[in-house]
Amino acid sequence: MALSASVILTREVPSLLKNSRLQLSNQNRLARFRSLLVIVCVIGIGWIGWSILDRILIDRNPIIVGILHSQTGPMAVSEKSMIEGEILALEEINEAGGLLGRQVEWVIADGASDWPKFARQAEILIQGKKVCVVFGCWTSASRKSVLPIFEANDHLLVYPMAYEGLEQSPNIIYTGASPNQQITPAVQWCHEKLSARRFFLVGSDYIWPHCVNAIISDQLAGLGDERLAEMYVPFGSTNVDDVVKQIVATQPDVVLSSVVGDSAIALAKKLREAGVRPDKTPVLTFAIGESELRTMSSDDIAGNYASWTYFQSIDRPENQIFAKAFKARFGSEQSLSAIAESGYNSVKLWAQAVQESGTDDVRLVRQSLRHQSFNAPGGIVAIDPETQHAWLSVYIGRIRSDGQFDIVWTSKTPVRPVPFPISRTPIAWKKFVEDLHTGWGGKWAAPVGVANVTVIESSKAKSQ
């Protein structure tokens, strides 16, 4: 019996040990499975919690911005390229991942070359579309019309156009040229390089050209030069015959033109037809760039001059990159202009301010914009915190037959903006602007029938 029991025990012990090991293995597997299940549950709960927290704390909705320019009417020929410059910058921002982890979307509103419509569209963008910024306007009449809307809503307009100055608003960042970055350098250059002493001033009949010509008249008085005449073309009109006749009759040393849009194209054509050529009577324009030249015959304009803060022919690596991207997006036949570049710069500066402030809140971004700078295609652009205008480089170019410019003069370095020329006090300039506004019945352009006003002085220009 003992032997039999021993044999049975010998046989059963390995089996028992094996079963024990199996039980332990199963227990270990179960323990590991439970641990893994706990880890998975913790990760899942954490992911769900983080997703909920992310939804609560982090805004993934798109950032909405407004673009407000003329897509129709006599100013469409000029403002089209400004829209394109702004869109290019916005698309580049989205391609790089957007802002603050959000994509940027834009709403384009058509001001239709009509000042009251600009004001209505600004209200719609701010109140209806809930945009956090508007890049907009071209003419000063459109800017003046929307200004009360932006101030009443404490909102933000980035204004990319060169203009007459004589204005500062906490609700506007002015990224285009001030008068000392376009107008007065050009007059000085004409006096020195063209030996001009007898000037003919012509502009479209609204606020910007009237202010430009007042600034020029003060400068001519300081130089001891003569203002032969000052004439205005009704806004959008192509009837420029009276202006051309007067230029032919007075034979000025140079014509300074602030005629805009379709009117500028008509004036250039009529002057050539009348035999006014740049070798004897050059025209220096403040409103025609590469975009307008694409719509004109080179025979009408080649040899004349323009003053801007950018030309496509600027030799900078940043400009080559910009030109390549612009043409790839809008067509190889497209020409770049100061208008397109300024619109592009405006968006880039705003985007930097959004990133820096960590929000698209209007007030915080507006504050951040006041000290932004950008290595732009035409040179360094920096916002002056005191005036909210931009430091910009200045260029004067001679128009070529291919619609481009040979740069004949440059400031070489960015010029500090001076919104109020020192020839008068800021109070006097504001009164000048307000008197125009009042005289036009509360509008920012002369009423029909008050246009083509001519001022002829046979003596040297006097301070106004």
Residues of the chain above pLDDT 90, percent = 80
How far is the CA of 250 from the CAs of 59, 246, 385, in angstroms?
64, 6, 44
Give the pLDDT band of residue 27 (cuts 50, 70, 90): low
226-277 pLDDT, tens digit each:
999 999 999 989 999 999 999 999 999 999 999 998 999 999 999 999 999 9
In a domain, 419, yes or no: yes
For residue 145, what are the domain limits?
A: 63-177+337-391
- Any idea what the CATH number is for the domain that residue 367 is in? 3.40.50.2300
In a domain, 378, yes or no: yes
Instruction: Please check whether residues 245 and 352 belong to one and the same domain.
Output: no
- The pTM assigned to this predicted structure is 0.84
The predicted pLDDT at position 20 comes to 59
Domain count, the chain: 2
Instruction: Please check whether residues 173 and 194 belong to one and the same domain.
Output: no
In a domain, 49, yes or no: no
Q: How far apart are CA 220 and CA 236, in angstroms?
A: 28
- Say if CB 290 and CB 301 are below 8 A apart: no
**CA-closest candidate to residue 162, choices 144, 175, 149, 151:** 175
Pairwise pLDDT comparison (234 vs 42), residue with the higher score: 234
Strands of the sheet containing 226-233, edge to edge, are 405-410, 395-399, 305-308, 283-285, 254-258, 198-204, 226-233, 455-456
In a domain, 327, yes or no: no
Q: How far apart are CA 234 and CA 449, in angstroms?
A: 9
Q: How far apart are CA 210 and CA 444, in angstroms?
A: 11
Instruction: Please check whether residues 161 and 77 belong to one and the same domain.
Output: yes
359-401 pLDDT, tens digit each:
999 999 999 999 999 999 999 999 999 999 999 999 999 999 9
State yes or no: pLDDT of 30 exceeds 90.
Answer: no
- Say if CB 164 and CB 180 are below 8 A apart: no
The predicted pLDDT at position 51 comes to 46
Q: What letter does residue 99 receive in the DSSP assignment?
A: B
370, 391, 412 - which closes a domain:
391
SS (H, E, C) 409-453: EECCCCECCCCCCCCCCHHHHHHHHHHHHHHCCCCCECCCCCCCC
